[in-house]
Amino acid sequence: MASRRRERKAAGETSQPLDVDIDPDAVRAAQKVAIAGFHMMIWPYVLSLVGGSAVSECDSCGRDHKDFGLLAIPIVGPFLPFGTGAQMSDTAKGVLIADGALQSLGAALFLGSLAFSPKLQKKAPGPRAAGLTLQFAPVASPSAAGFGVTGSF
C-alpha cells in the first residue's frame, strides 16, 4: 500500500482528506473478533473434514460409515450424523457436539464482527455556525505578541 502511495505522489496525484471519523480502537477490536471467530470456525471444520473423510472410507470394521461424509458440510455437518441414525460411541457423540458448537460459535463471531463493525461517520462540524467562520492564529508585531481571533459572517 505504501508503494502505491509513493507511485501516486510521483505521478503528481494528491488525495483529499476524508471528511469522516474512524475510531481505530473499534476497528482493531472488530478485526480481533473476526480473526478469533474465523480460527474458531475453520480449525474444527478442518478436523471434522479430515476425520469424516477418513472414517467414511473405512471398510476394515465391516460397518457402513458413509453418514460421516456429511461432516464435510461446514457448521451443520457435525450435527447431521445424529439424524441419520449412525451408530457411534458416547465419546464420538461428544466430540461431534463440541465440533459443531465450536464451528457455530466461530461462524457467529466472524459474521457478527463483519455485520457490526464500526462504520464511517461524518466528522462533526467545527466551531462554525451558519455563515460564521472563525480563524485562530498567532499574532506577532514589533510592539505586541499573542494570539488573535478573526472572523466573518
Coil, strand or helix at 49: helix
Flag whether 151 is in a domain: no
Flag whether 104 is in a domain: yes
- For residue 99, the enclosing domain spans 18-122
Confidence band of 117 (pLDDT split at 50, 70, 90): confident
Flag whether 140 is in a domain: no
Cα separation, 95 vs 67, in Å, equals 16
| Total tally of structural domains belonging to the chain | 1
Flag whether 148 is in a domain: no
Which is more confident, 134 or 19?
134
Flag whether 45 is in a domain: yes
Closest by CA to 38, choosing from 102, 101, 106, is 106
Cα separation, 74 vs 49, in Å, equals 9
Flag whether 10 is in a domain: no
Q: What is the tens place of the pLDDT at every residue in 47-87?
A: 988 888 777 777 666 666 677 788 888 899 888 888 877 77
Which is more confident, 15 or 70?
70
Grid cell of 17 as nine digits: 482528506
Flag whether 3 is in a domain: no
DSSP state of 144: -
pTM over 0.85: no
b/e map of 86-109 (b: 16 or more CB within 10 Å)? Answer: bebeeeeeebbeebbebbbebbeb
